Amino acid sequence: MNRPLSQQAFEEAVRYIPGGVNSPVRALRAVGESPVFIDHAKGVKLTDIDGNEYIDFCLSWGVFIAGHANPVVEAAVQRAILNGTSYGIPTLVETSLAKKVTELIPSMERVRFVNSGTEAVMSAIRVARGYTKRDYILKFEGCYHGHADHLLVAAGSGVATCGISSSAGVPDSFVQYTLVAPFNDKEAVNHIFEEYGDRIAAVIVEPVPANMGVVPETDGFLQHLRTLTQQYGSLLIFDEVITGFRLTLGGAQKFYAVTPDLTTVGKIVGGGFPAAAFGGRKELMSMLAPEGPVYQAGTLSGNPIAMTAGLATLSILSEEGLYERLNAKAATFIAELQGILRHKGVVINSVGNMFTPYFTEQSPRNFQDVNKSDLAAFAQFWRHMFANGIYLSPSQFESNFISIAHTDTHLEQVLNVANRF
Ligand SMILES: *Cc1c(COP(=O)(O)O)cnc(C)c1O
């Protein structure tokens, strides 16, 4: 597979954009490649500017659960765009999407829309601190919550690949209220609460950590966090920027039957446009200006085109039995892929339709386990798949996603390519 035009495009891009990319993992450095430039996408097929095709399992980092350029979303957006694209004045579609989100995720009694997951998390934490009048937050190693200063501590995703635990440009004093514990480690969390419990505003967690690759909770870890936070008067924040509308319509909180105080959603909720949201109980969300003293705002927040795309996406996902079929299809595929790759020393972690192959002996339970994975072997595997038209998420520290647009034929093709690895 040749990519002369992508190569040329990259050389041009690096002259104007740091690393040639607007988000680091796209540079493909973790897998020893140079970036591929996309011309268009449809369903699960990406076509690059050289005309090569790839079956996509990254799906814009989990956005396109209904496939790229879904006709329902596309038609809704095309209609909406004729009316102007932003006013900085309320529109009906903002309420429609807010209503839909609160119906699907009932713990989000009130929601506010923002432009990115980063903003949603930043704002949810501000609400938690404003409400509890406490400063500390507790996060978990390998969990990624966007690139806000005080969360760039032991973070996953691109931060993990770059090998920076705390980014340059973030003063130590900015992260002094950020406590970190290993995921799935109840005892470590208990110890932190014994010392800081009455000063912890919130515990923030990805209910399915997916930014160190997929690492499922074990032994009721999420329920433990729920119980402990309640005991100490701290809030529990589920960062469902990936998992919201991914495993079930009701998010990971429905999947695990653990109800947080505040939730962030992103990726899927914007239907391919820059939108995310945070929400929770009415009394918490009433802390926000103009009702309360916690300031939060955005020029393009609740953008009508993004809201339209999100609403169209959620309407597609509301089809009866859709998640049961999707997750069943995923389970069969993942089991077959695991069968093929086992003798290569690969274990696949998965939850529903999210999965990550690790080059380790044992299924990782936390970030320390993840870091035992053979990154060179992962990169080799990724390049093999890429060379054969399969675009997996380009780092060990990410999740892959199966969408309703992946057909049995697509999945068989992947198994055949994996078989030749
Ligand atoms: C992607 C992601 C974010 C950040 O969202 P952006 O839209 O990239 O700012 C936050 N939390 C989680 C769990 C994510 O996966």
Q: Is 244 in the pocket of ligand 1 (CB under 6 A)?
A: no
Q: What is the pLDDT of residues 282-309, one digit of tens each?
A: 999 999 999 999 999 999 999 999 999 9
Atom in ligand 1 nearest the alpha carbon of residue 146: 4
**Dihedral in degrees, nearest 10, Cα atoms 235, 239, 245, 249:** -20
| Other C-beta atoms lying within 10 Å of the C-beta of residue 195 | 11
pLDDT at 76: 98
Residues forming beta bridges with residue 358, ordered by sequence position? 347
The bridge status of strand 110-114 relative to strand 276-280 is antiparallel
Which amino acid, 363? S
Tell me if residue 239 is catalytic: yes
Give which of 273, 300, 305 is closest to 82, Cα–Cα.
305
CB 183 within 8 A of CB 209: yes
If one counts every other C-beta atom within 10 angstroms of the C-beta of residue 344, the result is: 13
Q: Contact 104/268 with Cβ under 8 angstroms?
A: no
Looking at residue 166, what is its pLDDT? 66
Verify whether ligand 1 is closer than 6 Å to residue 48 (CB atom).
no
pLDDT score at 194: 96
Tell me if the pTM is above 0.85. yes
Please state the atom number of ligand 1 nearest to the C-alpha of residue 206.
13
137 C-beta closer than 6 A to ligand 1 = no
- Has 144 been annotated as catalytic? yes
CA dist., res. 339 & res. 337, Å (int) = 5
Residue 268 and residue 247: Cα distance in Å, rounded?
Answer: 11
Give the integer Cα–Cα distance in Å for 203 and 125.
Answer: 9
| 331-384 pLDDT per residue, tens | 999 999 999 999 999 999 999 999 999 999 999 999 999 999 999 999 999 999
Write down the pLDDT at residue 151.
87
- The CA–CA distances, whole Å, from 253 to 66, 207, 221, 226, 277 equal 21, 8, 13, 11, 16
Q: What is the CA radius of gyration of the chain?
A: 21
Q: What is the DSSP string of 35-80?
A: PPPEEEEEBTEEEETTS-EEEESSHHHHT-TT-BT-HHHHHHHHHH
Residues of the chain with pLDDT below 50 are 162-164
pLDDT of residue 173: 83
Q: Is 296 a pocket residue for ligand 1 (Cβ < 6 Å)?
A: no
pLDDT at 163: 45
CA 193 to ligand 1 centroid distance, Å: 26
- Give the separation between CA 383 and CA 237, rounded to whole angstroms: 37
Instruction: Give yes or no: 267 in active site.
Output: yes
Q: How far apart are CA 369 and CA 189, in angstroms?
A: 18
pLDDT of 1 reads: 80
Give the separation between CA 134 and CA 237, rounded to whole angstroms. Answer: 15
pLDDT for 164: 47
**Is any atom of ligand 1 closer than 6 Å to the C-beta of 266?**
yes
Q: How many Å apart are CA 387 and CA 415, to the nearest integer?
A: 14
According to the model, what pLDDT value does residue 152 have? 84
